[in-house]
Amino acid sequence: MIELNQVVKKYGAKRALNGVTLSIPKGKVIGLVGENGSGKSTLLKVLAGLSSISTGSVTYRGTSITRTIATDLAYMSDTDLFYPYFTVRELMEFYDSQFADFDLIKAKELADFLKVPHEAKMKSLSKGNRGRVKIAVTLAREAKIYLLDEPFSGLDPMVRDDIAKGLIRFTNPEEQTIIMSTHEIREVEPLLDEIIVMRGGQIIAHETIDEIRDFYGVDATSWMVSLFKEPQQGKEINV
């Protein structure tokens, strides 16, 4: 569905992405992992059409990705970009006015499921509740692709568990693709079909969860730790 071929993204002399080649299929939940500064957020922004590339190609269904991909894609930043004076209800109504695929009824169901008060102002919410709101308005879009940048960052285990349950309940795993950057591999592993590992702007491994368990005989966290210790042992495959 999405193809990247030898993608380079430069910020001055620095290469945030350095020759990334990747194929992303439909109907998968993919974890994007790596150390801080490895290029995960940049890759998501490129996929979302929010950041132009220096060289290479990025295509969606055979067409070069631009900002127009937003009609098929929902992107959730790792930062809070909401108007602080909006209530949760007003924020949902604002999203409804901006995105043709936004389902207001689904958004309210998500907010209820995630225990977010509809009349609370965004500025009064805790970080955990703002994280819940971000997930609610993102998943309320009937998008073909969801890009989630650190959806669990800085949240307590209870909030992470609620968000994980929301991802399972309110998406269609056969038709929709979810790509999430995360450091919480152990917690999200049960959700994942594949893992992409980045380092220094490059993809150093791309494996299915089943491949990791069957070939390496370990869980995803242990595999990733060993990969960074002995990168030459990683068996790179494209799936």
Reply yes or no on whether the pLDDT at 34 is more than 70: yes
pLDDT (tens digit per residue) in 193-239: 999 999 999 999 999 999 998 988 888 888 888 887 764 444 433 33
Please report the pLDDT score of residue 230 as a whole number.
Answer: 63
Asked, for residue 42, whether it belongs to a domain, the answer is yes
Gap between the Cα atoms of 121 and 115, Å rounded:
14
Task: Give the residue among 70, 220, 79, 69 at the shortest CA–CA distance from 149.
Answer: 79
Give the range of the structural domain holding residue 58, as residue numbers without chain letter. Answer: 2-232
Asked, for residue 237, whether it belongs to a domain, the answer is no
Q: What is the CATH number of the domain that holds 216?
A: 3.40.50.300
Segment 96-100 shows an average pLDDT of 94
Task: Give the residue among 77, 172, 200, 184 at the shortest CA–CA distance from 133.
Answer: 77
pLDDT (tens digit per residue) in 135-148: 999 999 999 999 99
Gap between the Cα atoms of 81 and 163, Å rounded:
19
pLDDT over 70 percentage in the chain: 96
Please report the pLDDT score of residue 112 as a whole number.
Answer: 95
Please report the pLDDT score of residue 200 as a whole number.
Answer: 93
Cβ neighbourhood burial of 107 (10 Å; 0-12, 13-18, 19+): buried
Reply yes or no on whether the pLDDT at 81 is more than 80: no
Beta bridge partners of residue 147, listed in sequence order: 75, 179
Please report the pLDDT score of residue 66 as a whole number.
Answer: 82
Cα angle vertex 25, ends 149, 53, to 5°? 55
How many domains does one find in the chain?
1
Asked, for residue 126, whether it belongs to a domain, the answer is yes
Gap between the Cα atoms of 214 and 223, Å rounded:
12
Q: What is the mean pLDDT of the chain?
A: 89
Asked, for residue 56, whether it belongs to a domain, the answer is yes
First-to-last alpha carbon distance for the chain, in angstroms, is: 12
